Structure 1
Amino acid sequence: MAKAPAKKQDDRQIIRIFDTTLRDGEQSPGNSMNIEEKLRIAKQLQKLNVDVIEAGFPIASEGDFEAVKKVAQMIKGPQIAGLCRSNDKDIDRAWEALKYAGEKGRIHTFIATSDIHMKYKLKMEPGRVLESAVKAVKRAAGYTPNVEFSCEDAVRTRLPFLAEVVEAVIAAGATTVNIPDTVGYTIPFEYFNIIKYLKDNVPNIDKAIISVHCHNDLGLSVANSVAAVQAGARQVECTLNGIGERAGNCSLEEFVMILKTRGDILPFACNIATEQLTPSSRLLSNITGIAVQPNKAVVGANAFAHESGIHQHGMLMEKSTYEIMTPESVGLSASALVLGKHSGRHAFKKRLEELGHDLDGEKLNRAFERFKALADLKKEVFDEDLDAIVADEAREEEKYKLGHITVTCGSFAVATATVQMEIEGNAVRTAELGDGPVDATLKAIRKLSKTKASLMQYNVGSITGGTDAQGEVTVRVAEGQHVVVGKGSSTDIIEASAKAYIHALNRLNYKQKRMPEGV
């Protein structure tokens, strides 16, 4: 049977992309971001052309409130959403931050509707939950007509009650209703049937957009999102690199490229500038210090790599034999060599912008100086090298700063490290012995910082190939309930280790101030 021709872009139904990298994505261990880092991600999401940016949970902390407020003030284009529970205090606080976005400010309120959540978490009867949901939506609608309501744990909710809640909140003023798979429990055909049930049994369902928010506990978040869209959902909530609680969320880049690649059978489109997918993924990885796995779909290092002889032969004959999308379509440049030691500041800044980095002033100057120094040491400077430089230089003012390190070690000598740091502007120095130069260096930093944090993980790798490559170190540090990731790079692996550890301590300090133990 002949394949039906793909619909033209103008004939396709538009799926809204609701990005929750800054809210749900940030909730996973090690992914917390400070305000400046959130703004950098938000600016990149603006370039990516997402429809909605969920900027945070304003009631959670003063830091979250300020982040949502600044995103609402600075970002133009996407709608800006803030999450809040179904109570007056949360809703009022959310709008206090979101009001700067005007008509593009979206209050996103929620309450759990499944029996297990109502019984054990909320300790509320269904009638009270319904009443609370309606009251919350009405209060939110008093501030803005742009109100989204989520039935938390919707896929484990009894369908008649789910339909009752959805009908009631739409009548109360919700213009978007979210049917989340909060715990990543459902499978595609079941999720399709849930959305279809609501389409068939909620009389006023045409008055609101159905949204879906899928978690990846069983590895089905993207597949479930596609099934929901086929059943009638018109907004998908997702994150860059699929980050988020537990196993993460629906991956934005994977869902978007499914729509673009399989237009032959999926009559849908979205407004995403797909050429910004790789820069967006890289920026998030550099800020959080958490890299995507090499075999990650769309943005992984191996996504467009071909090693098999059969595959290579096919690629030489015709690329479409083994590539269902082009590297250029997701923003991956075919050229590996970016800049050299003779390159100027304008070319350097332009390439950073192409990679999704936005540096100005002193930060740009420091990054350029590091680039020139690196170019003198390396034969080739790659995009990955530039990403690493920006990751070091783009951070806001920090409590701990590395001064210099002197290390002595050898086969017949005990490793000794002398470390000088600045702590809140004050220069301090100490020396420590260790089981190797890295151990001695980190011991000295621990002593100077007086940290009680535990080093949970230490990973070292090469950013690019060659003996002159920059070393990249990633550490995971924990203290109490707080877990953070730190990242550092240098052609000297000892220096890279120190930078990563200090980066982690700064992130831990920020997180402890933003959300003290027990909150």
Structure 2
Amino acid sequence: MLNYQRYKRVPVMNFPERTWPEKEIQKAPIWCSVDLRDGNQALIDPMVVEEKLEYFNLLLKLGFKEIEIGFPSASQLEYDFLRTLVEKKLIPDDVKVQVLCQCRQHLVDKTFEAIQGIKNVVFHIYNSTSTLQRDVVFHQDKEHIKQIAIEGTKMVKEGAKNFDGNIWLEYSPESFTGTEVEYALEVCEAVKDIWQPTEERPIIFNLPATVEMTTPNVYADQIEWMSTHFTEREKVILSIHPHNDRGCGVAATELAMLAGADRVEGTLFGNGERTGNVDILNVAYNMFSQGINPELNIENVNEIIDVFERCNKMSVPPRHPYAGKLVFTAFSGSHQDAISKGMQALHERQSKIWEVPYLPIDPSDVGREYEPLVRINSQSGKGGVAFVMEQYYGFKLPKEMHKELADKIQSMSEVQGEISPEQIMETFRRMYIDAKEPLHFRKAKIEDISDSGSEYDTKVFLTYTDRGVEKVVEGFGNGPIDAVQHGLCAESGFNIKLTMYHEHALTLGSDSQAASYIELVDAATGVSAYGVGISSNINRSSFRAIFSALNRLYYSKEQNQ
């Protein structure tokens, strides 16, 4: 039996004054990428300098203005990388480089050595404040733990006197979610008293969910409580750093933003220790889908994926929100039908607002226009097959034909699995367009006889072959299709009625092709068949559709359909 009794519930704080549930996200936070520190340290094969440079340039291209590099005092590789950025002048003036450092004098000194020459720096110090770590790791009381933060702040403040650039202090009470909020506030206020921030140069208090311990609403309560209890709130940037241990990192981030967070630290696609950090792209695309400017250049998700996977040697899962290869793909028949109808409605209404069932955003807005929205397997329906035929090949199948083609495709998919668009088109061609035997349309001559006094206005001389033997039929009717039908019935013995006809252009321009769809019914038996014809001439495509339907109606065994 699952031994759930070993675990105890994390206390839920009593905070009836909360206001975040009534709020909405209105704007993007300050974004800070920690890919080159949190993400990199979690890699099986950490990035080398060249990969770090490529990744850094990607983050700049995406529009990040705050980028955490790592521990230059603790790793020679990270020290060398930071110096490479400085010496090659690769850091734009409007970008803040963030460096992490433990509250120890020799590490602080080494970090200041590493950042010399950088215009804007966030100096990030931290120490764990949680009840569990105070007990089992440090064996120290609250006052001693607070003193570590105070002494670290004094070290940075002293070092900043000889630093030529602009410096911001960031302090993190690590394991904030396991810390009493009153005590976390006490430590932060003590740090602020030493640092003496201003409105022009505020202090960053980063409140990390170092381990995600409970539901996102509790984290939001903790964040709002801190936000409303900081003194001189105008001199504080409230930052969050959510992890994803419970799979709720994105939700925790969004609720924390409602609760007063000004800044979000995270990584691309959520890479990081254990289950990772919050996925910044996920949060940004969520904002984008609500009509909010995420203030990141995330139009080309494929390019982001390419650099991420190459530098991190990790793959983006196929179901990853927005970025996965399958997230804009529907296999379900009902989903496919709804997407198809939604796309059609969007086109017909010429709406500037994106509203398509099952697709919260237009895939083309994030660079995914060349990937299939609909993929066909045994779970797919008639709407999905019709959608593929229109989107890939331009055939707007009449609704009457949807089921017949879909049934054929489904029987194939039950044997082999997923069916490609090429296979669907090949099956469609074999079933309808290539149904040219034993009756093969050759040519037709159409005459206008509207002034002849006849009850009909069109005369057609139709030439076709029947198992290779040429035949000529003369038909009269109100229009070319009607004339061909009457001629075949009168001279060839067919007893057919035309019950459905549709046509449309397949392509645009002077050399465009037309597609015609016809249903013929045997008047004696009631059996029907569909036919399809294509040609640059609309009459010729219609005649080919008639012969396609005739062959399928009377000679289906010979067609081996």
Give the TM-score normalised by structure 1. Answer: 0.59
Given residue 90 of structure 2, which amino acid in structure 1 is its aligned partner?
A: M
What SS class does the counterpart of residue 145 from structure 1 fall into? strand
Which of residues 319, 326, 329 in structure 2 aligns to 1:302?
Answer: 326
Q: Does 1:331 align with 2:367?
A: yes
Correspondent of 1:130 among 139, 146, 149: 146
Pair 1:170 & 2:223 matched: no
- 2:263 match: 235
Q: CA RMSD in A?
A: 2.2
Among 148, 153, 159, the alignment partner of 2:170 is 148
Distance in 1 (CA, whole Å) between partners of 2:215 and 2:192 is: 26
Question: Is residue 217 from structure 1 mapped to residue 245 from structure 2 by the alignment?
Answer: yes
Q: How many angstroms apart in 2 are the aligned matches of 1:167 and 1:130?
A: 10
For residue 319 of structure 2, give the secondary structure of its aligned residue in structure 1. coil
1:57 aligns with 2:81: no
Distance 1:277 1:107 in 2: 31
In 2: Cα distance, 1:331 partner to 1:101 partner: 35
Q: Give 1:115-514 correspondences, 5 Å limit.
A: 115-142=131-158, 143=160, 144-173=166-195, 175-263=203-291, 269-319=293-343, 320-334=356-370
1:97 equivalent to 2:114? Answer: yes
Structure 1 equivalent of residue 470 of structure 2: none
Distance (Å, rounded) in 2 between the aligned partners of 1:112 and 1:176? 17
Post-superposition Cα deviations, 1:456-496, rounded to whole Å, max 9, x if no partner, equal xxxxxxxxxxxxxxxxxxxxxxxxxxxxxxxxxxxxxxxxx
- The CA deviation at 1:206 is 2.7
Q: CA deviation at 1:130?
A: 1.4
What letter is aligned with 2:129?
A: T
How many pairs are equivalent?
323
Deviation string 1:401-431 (CA, Å, 9 cap, x unpaired) is xxxxxxxxxxxxxxxxxxxxxxxxxxxxxxx
Report which structure shows greater RCO (CA 8 Å, sep ≥6). 1
Contact 2:227 2:238 in 1 (8 A): no
Deviation at 1:134? 2.0
Among the aligned pairs, what percent are the same residue?
27
Shift of 1:238: 0.7
> Amino acid of the residue matched to residue 60 of structure 1?
A
Deviations 1:288-335 (A, max 9, x none): 221011101111111212222222222222242221112233233427
Moved more, 318-327 or 66-75: 66-75
* C-alpha distance in 2 between matches for 1:52 and 1:277: 20
Instruction: Tell me the distance in 2 between the aligned counterparts of 1:68 and 1:230.
Output: 35
Cα distance, 1:201 vs structure 2 = 2.0
Spell out, residue by residue over 1:369-401, the C-alpha distance to the aligned partner (whole angstroms, 9 max, x if none): xxxxxxxxxxxxxxxxxxxxxxxxxxxxxxxxx
Query: Aligned partner of 2:194: which letter?
Result: A
The higher radius of gyration belongs to 2
The residue that corresponds to 1:22 in the other structure is 36
User: What letter corresponds to residue 115 of structure 1 in structure 2?
Assistant: T
Match in the other structure for 1:82:
99
Deviation at residue 269 of structure 1 after TM alignment: 4.8
Distance 1:222 1:300, change over 3 A: same
Unmatched 5+ residue regions in structure 1?
Answer: 1-5, 337-519
The CA deviation string for residues 32-76 of structure 1, in whole angstroms up to 9 with x for no partner, is: 100110010000000000121111111222111112333454132
| Structure 2 CA distance for partners of 1:41 and 1:169, relative to 1, 3 Å | same
Question: How far apart are the structure 2 equivalents of 1:101 and 1:177?
Answer: 22
Query: C-alpha offsets along residues 236-261 of structure 1, whole Å, 9 cap, x if unaligned?
Result: 11101111001111011111112222
Q: Distance in 2 between matches of 1:276 and 1:252?
A: 15
Kindly provide the CA deviation profile for residues 197-244 of structure 1, in whole angstroms up to 9, marking residues without a partner as x. Answer: 112222223311111111111101111111111000011111011110
Q: Read off the aligned partner of 1:81 and give its amino acid letter.
A: Q
SS at match of 1:59: coil
For residues 111 and 367 of structure 2, the distance between their equivalents in structure 1, rounded to whole angstroms, comes to 35
SS of the equivalent of 1:53 reads strand
Q: 3-state DSSP class of the match of 2:116? A: helix
1:68 to 2:85 alignment? no
2: CA distance between counterparts of 1:216 and 1:274?
A: 22
Q: Check 1:270–1:166 CA distance in 2 against 1; reply closer, same or farther (3 A cut).
A: farther
The 3-state SS of whatever aligns with 1:81 is: strand
Counterpart residue identity of residue 45, structure 1: L
Are 2:62 and 2:296, in contact at CA under 8 Å, matched by a contact in 1? yes
Specify whether residues 78 and 317 from structure 1 end up closer, same or farther in structure 2 by C-alpha distance, changes over 3 A only. Answer: farther
1:195 and 1:232 in contact (8 A); partners too: yes
C-alpha separation in 2, matches of 1:106 and 1:331 = 33
- Cα distance in structure 2, aligned partners of 1:255 and 1:99: 34
Q: Counterparts of 1:270 and 1:297 in 2: how far apart (Å)?
A: 16
Q: After the TM superposition, which parts of structure 1 deviate over 6 Å for at least 4 consecutive aligned residues?
A: none
2:524 is aligned to none
SS at match of 2:67: strand
Contact 2:31 2:64 in 1 (8 A): yes
Counterpart residue identity of residue 116, structure 1: L
Q: 1:278 to 1:211 in 2, by over 3 A?
A: farther
Residue type of the alignment partner of 2:112: W
Q: Give unpaired runs (5+ residues) of structure 2.
A: 1-22, 161-165, 198-202, 344-355, 373-561
